[in-house]
Amino acid sequence: MSEEEPNEEVTKLIADRLMRVPDVLPPEGHAYHVLEAQTAAGERAGGLWMIESEGGVPVFQSRELATEALQFVPPPHVFGYDEAAVGWGVHALSADEFRTLFINPSVTLYVVLKVSDSGIEAQPL
């Protein structure tokens, strides 16, 4: 396999995602929400909660659903985040933040459909 093949795959993935952006953006005035690591002072600690087995970032269609999920997510240190990150907070993604994450070929976004004590139900975006 040549070195060009993976780059071609990545290029195709990025092109596909760029074409899909208009279809996956939330409606005007709404945002996707993510769980982001926070310090004890409530400051952003720079890490997003990721689905371990999937290696992707869950995005929530409402602040309420994201807030509900907080009770089921282990603390950030369990995932290897800096010890300054003591909890999770809900962060609304701006349109630019969403586009950046969605287009990134090394990240898969998962839309969360349901949250319960048995886990989350999500599907790739």
What stretches in the chain show pLDDT beneath 70? 1-6, 52-54
Q: Give residue-wise pLDDT tens across range 24-35.
A: 988 888 999 999
Give me the long-range contacts of 97-100 (CB less than 8 A, separation at least 24). Answer: 98/25, 98/26, 98/31, 98/32, 98/59, 99/21, 99/25
Domain tally, the chain: 1
Give the residue numbers spanning the domain of 13. 4-124
pLDDT number for residue 1:
45
The model's pTM is 0.84
pLDDT number for residue 6:
64
pLDDT number for residue 52:
67
